[in-house]
Structure formats: C-alpha cells, structure tokens
Structure 1
Amino acid sequence: MTAPTASSALAPTPGQLAWQRAGLGVFFHFGVNTFAGKEWSDGTVPAADFDPSELDADEWVRTARDLGAAYVVLTAKHHDGFCLWPTATTDYSVASSPWKDGKGDVVGDLAAACRRHGLKLGLYLSPWDRHEPSYADAEAYDAFYLRQLRELCTNYGELFEVWFDGAGSAGRVYDWDAIGELLAELQPQAMVFNMGPATIRWVGNEDGLAADPCEYVTRSTDLNQYDPDTVEFGEARYLPPECDVSLRRGWFWQEGEEPKSVPHLLEIHDRSLGLGANLLLNIPPDRRGRIDPADAARVRELRQALDARFGSPVDAELEVETVPGGVRGIAQLPGGTTFDHVELFEDVSSGQRITEHRILDEDGTVLAQGHTVGVRRIHRLPAAATARRLTLEVTGEGALVTGLQVHDASGAPVPELPEDFGAPTDAPID
C-alpha cells in the first residue's frame, strides 16, 4: 500500500466528534414532489396537491429509531420552494394546502416526535428555490432565505444538523457570512452540511459509498453530482463526510419503485459506516404521509441482518506500544475465537492520524489491511479465521487505537452490490 498524506493537523470540535460517533441518520424526503410524481419539480405544482391523509411523524421516527439511527433530517424546503412549515415568507407552504385545513406543520410534528422518541432533528433548507420570484435578485433572495432559516432555527428546538444542498447552485453565491452568523446565534451546536460555514461534508456521490482513505480534513468539497463545480474553502478544515443514499431508486416516494435489496443495503453500510463515514439513509414517506409497508419491511430486514452480523461482538484485550512512525498492538481473544469480521476504532479527538493499518494472525498472515480507521473501520474477511491473538500494525504519528472487536457473521446475509449498479439513470430535473 502507498500511504496517503496524514490529515492529523486539525482536530474535531466536540460537536463534530459527537456527530461522527452518532454514525447513522435517516433522511425524509417529503413534499409536493411526493404527490406530483416528480423528483425535482419547478415550483408550479399547486400547494393544493399536498394533502397527506394519514401523516404519522411518530411512525417515521420509530422506523428510524428501530433501525438504529441517532438522528433524522427532513426536507423542510426542497428545490421547488414548497415549505413544510407555515412560514411567513411565502404562500407556497402547508398553510395553503388542504392538509389539516391549512393549519398543519410537518416540521413541528417531526420535531415533537423526535423529542418523544429520543432522536435528534436535522433540517434541509434548499438554497436553490424554483418558486420564489426574488431568486433572480441575489440580494433580495438572501434576505428572504435568512428569514426562512431564522424561522426554522427559532421555532423547533435544538437542531443536530442543517443541510445545504448544492444542486442548482452552480455559479450562484449566497450570503454565507450572514447565514453563518445566524447559525452561530441560534443553533451553534448544529452541524452544517457542505456549504458556507460547513462543519461536515458530502461524500461526493448519491450511492452511499465512501472510499479508502476516508479523510476527515479537506480544502474543498464537491458541490453536487450534476455540475463540475466544487466548494473551495481556501484553508484546510476538519470536515468528516456524510454518505447520503435512498432506500429506493428516487429520493421522493414514487409509485412502482421498490426498496433496495438487503445485500445492497449491507454493502452500503460497510462502505459508509464501515469506512469511518456517517450514513444518511433516505426513507421517503408515501402520499398518505406514512412509511410504505414494503419499505418498513425492508428496514426491519436490514436491522435483523445487521444484528445477525454485528449483534454479538467479542472485544479483544488490546495492548499497544508506540513504535517509529506509528503503533503496534497485540489483541488477545478469549479461547480460540472464530470470526469473519474485524472492527477497529481510532481516537480522533486530537485529529485523524492513522494512514495505514494491517491485522495479522498468529502465523503472521495478513487478514486485513487498509488506510483509514477513523471513528470505526469494519473489515469483512474473505474466510472465517480462528485465533487467540492478533497483531495490529498501524502507521501514523501519534495514532491512538482505542479498541478492536471481532464478529462471527456466519449464516447472516452477505453484502453485495447489484449487477446493474452504476448504470446511468435519467436526470432528476422534470
């Protein structure tokens, strides 16, 4: 292996570290697109079309909780400009819909459900707005957008994440200084996704897949997957990545789509969370405002498969010593432990420092190797192994390995990408 450049110069804030350790979140894409059968609508779908008959935010949050998520993120306003809260900034919102006679508030319902079930709340507010006439006037729209953001940051309690989607914003400059000041005033603990005063970043694809090395320090991020533009920060920042992907093909619920298979979802898990990134899995509510039964069943199957693979970890007794350029560790396992997965944990509180690592058995055979460890790293072995002792070799000045676990996933579902994975799909603009 050729070691990448170490990214240990910058350390996370306590909030960033807490977000990374949370690991799994659930995205809820919901809005007029759900009722229009579109992925991206242009702001002309009538507000009257938004009329969920059985909206149940508690069901949404229970689904996320039972999957093991620590937080959720809702599309409070997507690119179409329709607002899921009764905003004072526009009449293109739930207040102009027949749902609850115009007195409903999806954001409020979800915030209350999160409080009841112990999950943290994140909100997505699209900078691009295809409905708002002032979007053509940058200064006027910046003021409009700040009013919307202030409402969301004031009325719904503490936010865990604020999501700024870069789609449609190539070449557009927003007033990020003012946005940053507002967030610092009202929601200083919230993680900010990818743009402006970003504290976390997009992984760079919508497949839910990180890569090795998965580095937490960067000077730029990708804006979106539709334009070549990047977000340049000028100086290096500690920005751990979030992998976003939908349970279905599309982001909004559409008739006739099916959820991804369990093996596909397991592969996503291992190549996001298992590579030290966060995973934000989209589970889109349907036109009733409920979780589609097929999606709910697939989420339960996924949880069962994850429990079968990782539900009975065996902790190694780990002793490490500093060696030139890194650390060497001996991991003692009880008896002759049989396992087919190894999970490692790095203390990144003072910065991400591990650039390479290898795990060897008692005979010196390399069982697994890679670059990043980060907050968590999962290795699936090509075959089961039995050992009393493992050797861990780590490259990285000041590296801190805090734990090693092994898992026996024999008989559990095996991760696998579908044969047609990576095939081109239609552009989302309708």
Structure 2
Amino acid sequence: MTAETESALLAPTPEQLAWQRAGLGMFFHVGINTFAGKEWSDGTVPASDFAPTDLDAEEWVRTARDLGARYVVLTAKHHDGFCLWPTATTDYSVASSPWKDGSGDVVGDVAAACRKHGLGLGLYLSPWDRHEPCYEDPEAYDAFYLRQLRELCTNYGELFEVWFDGAGSAGRVYDWEAIGALLAELQPQAMVFNMGPATIRWVGNEDGLAADPCEYVTRSTDLNNYDPDVVELGQARYLPPECDVSLRRGWFWQEGEEPKSVEHLLEIHDRSLGLGANLLLNVPPDRRGRIDPVDAARLVELRAALDARFGAPVAADLRAIAAPAGARVEAELPGPTVFDHVELVEDVSTGQRVRAHRVLDSDGTVLAQGGTIGVRRIHRLPAAVEAASLILEVEGEGAVIEAVRVHDATGAPAPALPEDYRAPTDAPID
C-alpha cells in the first residue's frame, strides 16, 4: 500500500479535526522549577519553595486568548513530581506550600479561567516522576499514576488535551492499556499527546518547526528530545503533529532570559501552523505567578505582526477544472489583487490526500509549490504580485480544496531565524 493510499484510508475523528483547526495553543510551564532556578529538578526541592506572591491564572489565559490561542496546556506535574493541585496521592504539592496557606489549586484556577474565556484546557502529567519512591516499582507506580490521572480527569471539567511527555521514560513501560481505558471513560474527547493511546504526536524537535511534507498518518513517533527512542505503533495511525517551543530559551521562567524576537516567532509560525501542524507556544509565568512584562510585550508585538500579515485576507471563489491527472482548481479573486502570501486549506475530513501542489498565475507562472497542504498551508512569495485569478494544481486522489486566500503583508515584519540560532537539543544539566 502506498503512503498516499494509506493516508486516504485514514480519516480524523471529529475531535482530531477540531483540534487541528484550533491550531494555536499556549503552554504554561510553571512549578517548583520556577523557584529552584532549574529546568529539571530532581524531586528534592522542598514544596515550601513554591511561593508565588501574586499568582493570576486568569492573566495567563487572557494572554493566550489575546494572542489568538484556542487552548492552553498546563504542567500539572513535571518530572520533579511536584503537583499543582492538592492531590490525595502525595504531600509533594501546592497543599504543602505557603501559597494561599496550602489551600490553593493552580489547576483549578486555570480551569476556571479557561471556562470564563472560552479556551480549551490541556493538562500535562509527566509519566516520569523523580520524587515518588514507588516509581522504582512499575506496578505500584502505575496504580499511583492512574490515581493522579483520575483526579485530573474528574475534578476540572472537560479536557481538550492530555500531554504525556516522553522525557526520562526511555526503556520504561507504563500501563498504557489502563491509562487508555481511564481516558476513554472520563475524557473521551481529549486529544492524547504522543504516548500510549495517542491521537496526536510530537513533531520531533523542541524548536517549533515542522517540515514539508507534514504527514498526518504515521507508523512511528519520536519519544522525546533527549533519547534516540522511537515508538513503533504497529500500524498506520492518523496522528497530526504538534510543534512545541518556548518563548524563551528554557521552558521554566529564569532570571536573565529574554523572549525570542518577533522575526524568529514569525518563522516558527510559518514553519508550524503554516505547514499544517499545530503550534504550542510556551510562555512561562514568573516567580510572582504573573506573565513577565517583557514576554507580554513581545506577544503583543507578535499579534500585531500577525495581524499586519494576515489580518485582511482576500478569499477566492473556487471552481474545479477537469484535468488528466490530479486535480486543478481555479481560484477567482474579486478583481486584480496585490498579494505576497497564498494560503491554502484542504478538506481533510476524509483523510489527508494532497501529496504535492503548485500555485500558478493565469499566465502559467509558478508562484509557489510544495508537498502537503493539510488544514492550512501558507506560502510566502519572494515578492508581491498582482493577479485576478490563480490556478492550483494538486496531486492526490480525491483531494478537495476547501479555501484559497491571499494576503498582502507589504511593510509587515518578515520571518527570520537568528544567524546564530541552534535548536535546543541537549538535555538539561540540572
């Protein structure tokens, strides 16, 4: 069976398609590491060190909403084992901290803010736990982990995503059958990230960059950024990718770090969302429990830059044209239009079918070309052009183009990776 045929036979569930169309999410890495000055602490930092002075989860969610995110993911428990909710499974949680005299619940605060502002709630629950003694006993730890997962799946309303980070779990086998059964019972609509009963997958790096082709059907996934392990799925599955990347160098807020430039963030946008993947942008709250003002200002700049590039789309009327091979679509614009970006949308409700495509003007000049399209594909042209119509040629049996839009980003900031940029591929040393 060819990759094209395999992809066409596998279609997304309604929940997968809704997640893909949501596109942009915001990650919140916050916890004991925020106060320990570490990326990965080892579970020995005292719970009393978690002491935000002005924690405002609603500010976090408003920041996500204002950027245009449709969902958030919170690190309810990172690898250190510290829990941001008052769990009954361990005393290593906010209940043992001075914050709100031990009566606080960060997960609950974020969940309430998501309900108020209409964003989906995602929760990250690290399988690897460096604090819990029973981690060395797989059977005991599986039972422990299931109790934690049940609390999160029961007490905070509907979840949009459950995030299983593979870091630290190379060679470890968890009870994924029981975990899957619990999720199917309590949160059947939630997307499951990358491990066990996964419905979405990691893109394979932590710099937020997908590649072309951006395939939604795969037989394997990368486990994490720190080990060469690959998760073999045994059969092809529809698992669209999510690109995770931090606004700063590290995942947790650390003194002295600066956010990425607008140009860098635009490059990430175009090489994740613009290639048909989802983007999960990490914005770490600081030791007050607030969004760092420098980070907040950068996100306002980013939103303005995105609006300048994509805020006034011109939609084309589409007409399918019979062609000897593949499909040919005529995209008629309202009139002569100046543009330097072309946005394409494929109907993937019955599967991802486009394997290659070309965008031509009415004279037959190729303006852009590439592999997959998926839920969205953005082409930045080398220079602005003027046209009243476009021709889209696609390869892929049964492919359906849902929309063609053009954008004029003249004068707007342009995407660019820093000259000295190096993707963060090394494991934290602490």
Say yes or no: TM over 0.5.
yes
Corresponding residue of 1:375? 375
- Structure 2: gaps (5+ residues): none
Contact 1:325 1:397 in 2 (8 A): no
Normalised to the residue count of structure 2, the TM-score between the two structures is 0.98
Written as runs of structure 1 = structure 2, the 5 A alignment for 1:180-191 is: 180-191=180-191
Written as runs of structure 1 = structure 2, the 5 A alignment for 1:20-419 is: 20-419=20-419
CA offset at residue 324 of structure 1? 4.1
Deviations 1:40-61 (A, max 9, x none): 0000010000000000011000
Whole-angstrom CA distance in 2 between matches of 1:208 and 1:384: 27
Contact 1:215 1:372 in 2 (8 A): yes
Deviates more, 1:419-428 or 1:24-33: 419-428
AA matched with 1:82: F
Contact 1:347 1:402 in 2 (8 A): yes
Q: Which SS does the other structure have where 1:323 is aligned?
A: coil
Q: Which SS does the other structure have where 1:8 is aligned?
A: helix
Deviations 1:358-407 (A, max 9, x none): 00112211000000100000000001000011111010000010110000
AA matched with 1:182: L
Contact 2:206 2:425 in 1 (8 A): no
CA offset at residue 425 of structure 1? 6.5
CA offset at residue 424 of structure 1? 6.3
Whole-angstrom CA distance in 1 between matches of 2:426 and 2:208: 18
Whole-angstrom CA distance in 1 between matches of 2:268 and 2:288: 28
Contact 1:20 1:277 in 2 (8 A): yes
Whole-angstrom CA distance in 1 between matches of 2:136 and 2:41: 18
Deviates more, 1:3-12 or 1:206-215: 3-12
AA matched with 2:35: F
AA matched with 2:12: P
Whole-angstrom CA distance in 2 between matches of 1:73 and 1:217: 24
AA matched with 2:144: F
AA matched with 1:193: F
- Structure 1: gaps (5+ residues): none
Deviates more, 1:331-340 or 1:281-290: 331-340
Deviations 1:395-428 (A, max 9, x none): 0000010110000000000000001112667531
Q: Which SS does the other structure have where 2:182 is aligned?
A: helix
What is the RMSD of the two structures over their aligned residues, measured on CA atoms?
1.1
Contact 1:211 1:275 in 2 (8 A): yes
Cα 1:168–1:102 change in 2 (3 A) is same
Normalised to the residue count of structure 1, the TM-score between the two structures is 0.98
CA offset at residue 429 of structure 1? 3.5
Contact 2:4 2:353 in 1 (8 A): no
AA matched with 2:125: L
AA matched with 2:374: G
AA matched with 2:359: I
Whole-angstrom CA distance in 1 between matches of 2:423 and 2:23: 28
Sequence identity of aligned pairs in percent?
Answer: 82
Whole-angstrom CA distance in 2 between matches of 1:28 and 1:132: 23
